[in-house]
Amino acid sequence: MTTAGAQRERRAPGGKLSNPQRVELYYYMLLARECDDAILRLYRQGKIVGGAYTGSGNEATAVGSAYALEKCDYLFPMHRDLGAHLVRGQTLRNIFLQQLARAGSLTGGRDGTGHYADPALRIYGNVSHLGAMVPMAAGAALAATLRKERAVVMTYIGDGGSSVGEVHEGLNMAAVMRLPLVLIVENNQFAYSTPIARQFAAQRLSDRAAGYGIPGVTIDGTNVTLVYETCWKAVERARSGEGPTLIESVTMRMQGHSASDDASYVPKQMLEDWKKKDPIARCAKILLADRLLTEESLLTMNEEVRARVEEAAAYAVEAPYPDAGDAGEGVYAP
């Protein structure tokens, strides 16, 4: 598989995926899951400190959405969107250097989570106050419009974060100004420990789109092909000057809010029901049925992914920490 380099143009006529692209989507989801599993192992070994966040169950949403973008577009991912980073061409070594807060990381060791930017890939990573990402993304969309770029900006918010006032302000501005913004609401059933029934009274979060005068759609976020096709249409709409789209992707957070959260508040039967909708297993079953993969090629792919992730993690573990004397560098503008 040739999936680790800089993102190439992937868009197909009509947004329809070729068979090699369908396999590549599966590969990226597999890669994201293996990275998350390695991050959890490193956290439990005491090699990652602070927070460790995973996107288990969210791979189809992260991968399928980012796959709909072109190289010229901007991505503002959240902490459960590791798959989107990979699709954009982020290297595994960079991911683990960042998680382990090493000197060679994109933040120079000043952060150990997803709070980083990589302008070369047009990735602008999440801030802790997640609702603030939407006005930031709207601002990037306005800047792109003023510069007469053909770029689209894609960002994400969780079900809990979608109720924050900054989300309303940013989305309203984008709608009024018809900015090229795509907002994906990751409805993964819980905002930390608060279930969605206690967060909002609307039947669907996408129903809020009508109040902004923009399209809103709710989709099965475990179906990577559906995610891609829906996002492709929204990206096309934004690029043609028709403004934002709100996409509610319904998934399940299969682990706690972070590695320190045992998710004991989640009903066990609920987790069991969602396990049957695992996006990776679901995609593999379809690819096998369509004879795009065999059991042997699946096994080979799994081994390749595991080896790549282990190599990158081992490299980062051995990499040096930043020098203590550099702690004040890059904190304030000159």
Distance CA 218, CA 16 (A): 20
User: Is 282 in the active site?
Assistant: no
168 is catalytic: no
Q: How far apart (Å, rounded) are the C-alpha atoms in residues 269 and 224?
A: 24
Catalytic residue among 41, 44, 265, 321: 265
Task: For residue 307, give the amino acid letter.
Answer: A
Query: What is the phi-psi region of residue 221: left when phi exceeds 0, alpha when psi lies from -120 to 50, beta otherwise?
Result: alpha
> What is the rounded distance in angstroms from the CA atom of residue 121 to the CA atom of residue 89?
7
Q: Is 67 a catalytic residue?
A: no
Q: How far apart are CA 267 and CA 138, in angstroms?
A: 37
- For 77-143, the DSSP string reads --TT-HHHHHHTT--HHHHHHHHTT-TTSTTTTS-SSS--EEGGGTEEPPPSSGGGHHHHHHHHHHH
DSSP 331: S
- 190-210 core/surface letters (b: 16 or more CB in 10 A; e: else): bbeeeebeebbeeeebbebbe
Task: Give the Cα separation of 43 and 216 in Å (integer).
Answer: 38
* Cα–Cα distance measured from residue 226 to residue 279, given in angstroms and rounded to the nearest whole number: 11
Q: Please provide the size of the chain in residues.
A: 334
Active-site residue, from 22, 257, 282, 308: 257
Q: Which of 88, 253, 282, 308 is catalytic?
A: 253
For the chain, state the CA radius of gyration: 19
List residues with catalytic annotation.
253, 257, 265
